[in-house]
């Protein structure tokens, strides 16, 4: 049985009001769309253009792992999710001998292979951990969750340590503190939190309006 996620309703209401001070028209606010949705959706479209399942598979069959890594990094460069030191670590990792193949096989397995998400996510973490390291480590929550989120925003979310820890602290009555330790259970728990929050907000809307999802950048 999946653990129940209980949120502090008073805290949720308080943060809804704070959100509306910034974006009076809720998720339809043009400033929200410009700041939070458009660039994510453009990155998603670019990923699908370059690395949709069939294109990704064709490149894999041809052994063009460097091309896959290059395309993935081009998509990442369109966003601001990953810190500069993480960007450098990732680029160094995929440029090292064998790095691009490790990255490509891990990402393809997560996105397009069959089987439980838990197992595929673990293998993706292993792939990132195995990438050669010069200075900073490649394996971090933003790097591990950016690519699945941009590729499949309806299934995945992106985790950033400071923001997620703050959200868990403010909204949960029964705390399950977020940490920087990566694992499929923590990722699954974060997705459940996101879905619960989405249902609570969508039930009454924010400012009386419905929305697609906390993390889904697709235009309505």
The pLDDT assigned to 42 comes to 93
What is the pLDDT at residue 82?
A: 87
What are the φ and ψ backbone dihedral angles of 173, each rounded to 5 degrees?
-80, -30
- Identify the segments of the chain with pLDDT beneath 50: 1, 3, 173-178, 180, 195-214
Distance of CA 142 to the CA centre of its chain: 7
- Contact between 206 and 23 under an 8 Å Cβ cutoff? The reply is no
Predicted pLDDT at 133? 81
pLDDT in tens, 10-30: 777 888 888 889 999 988 889
Helices (H), 96-131: 99-112, 117-130
Whole-number Å distance between alpha carbons of 11 and 88: 38
Q: Report how far apart the first and last C-alpha atoms of the chain are (Å, whole number).
A: 34
pTM for the model stands at: 0.76
- Among 82, 4, 10, 8, residue whose Cα is nearest residue 43: 82
pLDDT of 113-140, one tens digit each? 999 888 899 899 999 999 988 777 778 8
Give domain limits for the chain.
9-204
- Confidence at residue 93, expressed as pLDDT on a 0 to 100 scale: 93
Give pLDDT, residue 211.
38
Mean model confidence pLDDT for the chain = 79
Q: Tokens for 59? A: 């490149």
Which stretches does DSSP call E strand in the chain? Answer: none
Per-residue pLDDT, 207: 39
Q: 3-class SS at 31?
A: helix
């Amino acid at each position: 049985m999946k653990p129940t996620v209980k949120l502090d309703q008073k805290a949720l209401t308080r943060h809804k009001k704070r959100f509306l001070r910034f974006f009076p028209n809720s998720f339809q606010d043009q400033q929200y769309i410009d700041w939070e949705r458009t660039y994510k959706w453009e990155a998603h479209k670019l990923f699908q253009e370059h690395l949709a399942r069939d294109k990704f598979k064709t490149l894999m069959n041809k052994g063009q792992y460097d091309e896959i890594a290059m395309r993935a990094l081009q998509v990442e460069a369109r966003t601001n999710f990953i810190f500069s030191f993480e960007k450098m670590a990732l680029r160094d990792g995929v440029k090292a001998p064998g790095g691009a193949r490790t990255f490509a096989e891990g990402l393809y397995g997560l996105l397009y292979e069959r089987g439980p998400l838990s197992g595929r996510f673990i293998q993706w973490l292993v792939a990132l951990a195995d990438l050669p390291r010069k200075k900073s480590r490649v394996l971090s929550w933003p790097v591990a969750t950016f690519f699945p989120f941009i590729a499949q925003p309806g299934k995945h979310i992106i985790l950033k340590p400071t923001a997620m820890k703050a959200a868990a602290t403010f909204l949960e009555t029964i705390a399950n503190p977020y940490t920087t330790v990566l694992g499929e259970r923590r990722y699954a728990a974060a997705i459940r939190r996101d879905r619960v929050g989405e249902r609570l907000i969508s039930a009454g809307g924010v400012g009386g309006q419905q929305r697609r999802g906390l993390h889904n950048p697709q235009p309505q």
